[in-house]
Structure 1
Amino acid sequence: MNVNKNALIDRVAPQLGSRRAAAEAVEVVLDTIARTLAEGSSVSVTGFGVFEPAERASRLARNPQTGDRVTIPARRVPRFRPHQRLKDLTDGRRPLPTAGSSIRKDPKGTHAARDAA
């Protein structure tokens, strides 16, 4: 099942008490990520991943209708690099916690990923 923005808001709402609060929280987080990337900076979320702007060099391409070669200019694009914890959760190598945050750091002295193996 794909989760769009409205479904994400619906999933966050029970934790924040209202759909309005959830909508505002989701909107603020996404807006902050977009604005930070537009400024050329990266956003790192511990346990989740890093959103970063990446430079894409100009390149030659072919117009499929005419066959003419065209130059696509250099540009900056957003990239996401997932944290190892997110990769492990996605792959099933790390169990989802029954309660609490799945991306929160483990308490000191515990190694949930190693203990789960």
Structure 2
Amino acid sequence: MTTKPMTKTQLVATLAEQMGADKKTAAAALDTLASIVASEVAAGGAVTLPGIGKVACRARPEREVRNPATGETLTKPADRAVKVTVAKALKDAVA
């Protein structure tokens, strides 16, 4: 079953309907939430979205990687990556 993901416009419309508010208010709420999550994760923190999951930033150590085209081994410097852990409630709702 392949379905297209919900677009931001569709999400805003559904959010506005569920909130009983207009689309402008729902769009502002969604943009504010995204901004808060992005700034907190960029600062190295984590945000738990109840019923959805946890978004966190994790440090990845320096490591050896291989270029698949040439087979050359390179050293990739340490960096940070965003990790999303899905909540058990959401997993149970899907299963």
TM-score with structure 1 setting the length: 0.68
Does the Cα contact within 8 Å between 1:10 and 1:19 map onto a contact in 2?
A: yes
Write 1 or 2 for the structure with the bigger share of strand: 2
Structure 1 pair 20/70, CA: closer, same or farther in 2 (3 Å)? same
Q: Secondary structure at the match of 1:21?
A: helix
Q: Which amino acid in the other structure matches residue 13 of structure 1?
A: A
How many residues in Structure 1 have an aligned counterpart in Structure 2?
91
Residue from 2, 7, 12 that aligns with 1:9: 12
TM superposition score normalised by structure 2: 0.81
Match of 2:74 among 70, 77, 99: 70
SS in structure 1 of the partner of residue 57 of structure 2: strand
Structure of higher CA gyration radius:
1
Q: Which residue of 2 aligns with 1:51?
A: 55
The residue that corresponds to 2:86 in the other structure is 82
1:16 deviates by: 4.1
Structure of higher RCO (CA pairs closer than 8 Å, 6+ residues apart): 2
Cα distance in 2 for partners of 1:6, 1:71 equals 42
Query: How far apart are residue 89 of structure 1 and its match?
Result: 0.8
Partner of 1:23: 27
